[in-house]
Amino acid sequence: SSTAADGVRVSATSADLDARAHRTLPGGVNSNVRLAAPKLYFERGEGARLYDVDGNEYIDYLLGQGPNILGHAPAKLQADVAAAVSSGMLFGAQHEAEVRAAERVVEILGWPDMVRFGVSGTESVQAALRLARAATGKRRFIRFEGQYHGWLDNTLANWDAEGNALVAGAGQIADYLRDFVPTPWNDLAAVRERLETHDDIAAIITEPIMLNAGSIPPEDGYLQGLRALADEFGVVLIFDEVITGFRVGLGGAAERYGVTPDLAVYGKAIAAGWPVSALAGRRDLMERFGTGEVNHSGTFNASVMATAAVLSATGILQETSPYARMEEYGRSLQELIRAAAAKHDLPLHVQGVPMAFHVSFSGGRTLKDNRDILACDAPRYAALSRELIRHGVWVAARGVWYISAAHSDAELADTEERVDRAFAAHAG
């Protein structure tokens, strides 16, 4: 028995709560992404660690699917948001902090002129696509096999090994999948071919580092090549930086690879755990919202909470600049996993940017695109992830490991010991 964050006594175990949840929450969850994970109930997060109602402690490498870049409950962020909302939450009108938050984002990123805040990555992606359609008068967009741009009908897809996009579930309108032209990632010739054979392309949208299927960096010159093709064919280049933004460096992947998109979508780390997204872009595109030519709305956009969270989180990231440290931690963690895999004779493959890397049973292959991902032994990795969780390492079943600024030497040492025991259990 313990006390939950809202002060309510919690005497149930995760199993009790899961059974109860199934009566009022479909599948016991509020996001289908969570169906695949063990149904643990967390009571508290602190720094890089999570605590469940069963009395277990975990080192967290899921970080809420990426947002908690400062770790759990960072004191200054929580205090700044609490102070801001003490004078109101939502005005349905303008307030100074939204101007400062937009100025901050523009200043940090450098390349965009303007910003529109939203609540989720899913909806800001839609705003970007709508702008691109308005600017070009065209309907479709090139997107890449295995990438994720939210759960709505025109972006959600399951992929087969031939690169076909299939509806991901019942009720999804299959016709909307025709809005995009599926294209393999890291293959500029394929993008050129699509642009030459389709005259109805408004945009190319890409995760600048493929992070929803592996952690696959762009090959040298790939993003530059997309930029050049977008210019040559007069289509809008959209970076979906929902994961990479404020994570792979303060300026995200655009800064890391030195390539400037026309529009970019941010979410997750931009507010370090509070629900905020942003669309940033060039003035000539973004002003279409301002003139009313293109609609983008939202009751909760740029709430007091959201703008306070953006200002506080980005301010902390600017002041503390944790990226070099996170990169070093991530590299050490990658090495530790490789060493433990070798010790226990597990054919694990580790790759990707240290702040969000990927572990798989890839059969020894380096992953270059989604077809390589589909060839991995995903059920075996999911089983390994459950073993890691049993040993106090909270990770996603799909192979991504996120690092936060709160991960320190103590977490690395504990992780080493836990990974060793988890791998031994899996191997044995």
Q: Where on the chain is the footprint of ligand PLP (CB under 6 A)?
A: 65, 120-122, 125, 148-150, 207, 212, 240, 242-243, 267
Nearer to ligand PLP, 115 or 348 (CB): 115
> Minimum distance from CB of 188 to ligand PLP (Å)?
21
How far apart CA 239 and CA 255 sit, in angstroms, is: 12
Cβ atoms of 290 and 80 within 8 Å: the answer is: no
H helix intervals, 258-392: 283-290, 304-320, 323-343, 370-374, 378-390
> Minimum distance from CB of 66 to ligand PLP (Å)?
7
Nearer to ligand PLP, 208 or 392 (CB): 208
The contacts of residue 343 (CB under 8 Å, 6+ apart) are 420, 423
Cβ atoms of 263 and 279 within 8 Å: the answer is: yes
Going by C-alpha positions, the residue among 154, 153, 155 that lies closest to residue 172 is 153
The 10 Å Cβ neighbour count of residue 176 is 15
> Minimum distance from CB of 350 to ligand PLP (Å)?
20
Classify strands 114-118 and 277-281 as parallel, antiparallel or unpaired: antiparallel
Q: How far is residue 307 from each of residues 69, 91, 95, measured CA to CA in Å? A: 17, 12, 10
Nearer to ligand PLP, 202 or 205 (CB): 205
Classify strands 57-60 and 49-52 as parallel, antiparallel or unpaired: antiparallel
H helix intervals, 110-199: 121-136, 188-197
Ramachandran angles phi, psi of 333, nearest 5°: -65, -40
The contacts of residue 82 (CB under 8 Å, 6+ apart) are none
Nearer to ligand PLP, 47 or 267 (CB): 267
**H or E stretch covering 277:** strand 277-281
Token pair belonging to 69: 């870049």
> Minimum distance from CB of 374 to ligand PLP (Å)?
18
Nearer to ligand PLP, 398 or 426 (CB): 398
> Minimum distance from CB of 110 to ligand PLP (Å)?
21
Nearer to ligand PLP, 42 or 402 (CB): 402
Angle, to 10 degrees, between the axis of helix 304-320 and the axis of helix 96-109? Answer: 40
Q: How far apart are the first and last CA of the chain?
A: 34
The residue of the chain with the least Cβ separation from ligand PLP equals: 121
Classify strands 263-266 and 236-240 as parallel, antiparallel or unpaired: parallel
Q: Which amino acid is at 88?
A: G
> Minimum distance from CB of 356 to ligand PLP (Å)?
10
Cβ atoms of 280 and 255 within 8 Å: the answer is: no
> Minimum distance from CB of 32 to ligand PLP (Å)?
11
Location of structure tokens 């801001």 = 84
> Minimum distance from CB of 391 to ligand PLP (Å)?
26
Nearer to ligand PLP, 58 or 144 (CB): 144
| DSSP letter, residue 70 | T
Nearer to ligand PLP, 71 or 150 (CB): 150
> Minimum distance from CB of 241 to ligand PLP (Å)?
8
> Minimum distance from CB of 48 to ligand PLP (Å)?
21
- 153 HSE (CA, 13 A, CB side): 9
| DSSP letter, residue 396 | -
| DSSP letter, residue 73 | S
> Minimum distance from CB of 3 to ligand PLP (Å)?
30
Nearer to ligand PLP, 150 or 217 (CB): 150
Nearer to ligand PLP, 148 or 289 (CB): 148
Nearer to ligand PLP, 279 or 340 (CB): 279
